Amino acid sequence: PPSFFIFLTRQKAASMSADLQWMIIRNNSCYLLKRNKQNFTREPNNLKAKNSYRYNGLVHKKTVGVEAAPDGKGVILVTRKQKGMRKPSTNHSKVTLSRGGRQTLTAIRRAVRGYRKDLKMPALRRASAILRSQKPVVVKKRLPKAKPSTE
C-alpha cells in the first residue's frame, strides 16, 4: 500500500547517522566557540566542552551530561532516553545525586558503565570538579610574624 511506503520514506528521511550529523555541525554550530586556535563548544551534555565527535551531546543516540544541582548541593546526571528521540523536551532523564562525594561518584560510575564506557572518566572528573567547587572555602588564619628583637 502507498501509505506504508510514505511511512518508510519519512522514517529514513528523519533519521540521519551520527557521522553525517557531525559532518554538518562540526564547523558550523550556534554552540561553537573558536578562540586561541582551539575549538570549544557550549552544547548540553558535552562533558569536556570540546568540539569533538566523541564528546558531542547532539549527534549521538546515547549521551551523558553532568550538571550542578540548582540548590548548590550535589550534581545532576543527565542521560538521553532511547524513546522519544523526536521530542527533545522529554527525551532526557535527569537524576539528582546529593548523598555525598563517594556515593555520588559511585552512582555515576555504575550508571555510565553500562551506558557509554568511553565517557566514564570525563563524567567522573566533571562531577568531582563540581562537587569540589560546592565545598565552602576555609580561610586559614595566619599567625603574625614575630618582630625581631633589638637587644
pLDDT given for residue 14 in this prediction: 54
Matching residue, cell 570549544: 40
Phi, psi of 110 (to 5 degrees): -70, -35
pLDDT given for residue 84 in this prediction: 78
pTM of the model: 0.78
Tens of pLDDT, residues 88-118: 888 899 999 999 999 999 999 999 998 999 9
Phi, psi of 56 (to 5 degrees): -65, 135
For 121-148, b/e burial (b = at least 16 CB within 10 A) is: ebbbebbbebbeebeeeeeeeeeeeeee
Contacts of 31-36 with C-beta under 8 Å, sequence gap 24+, read: none
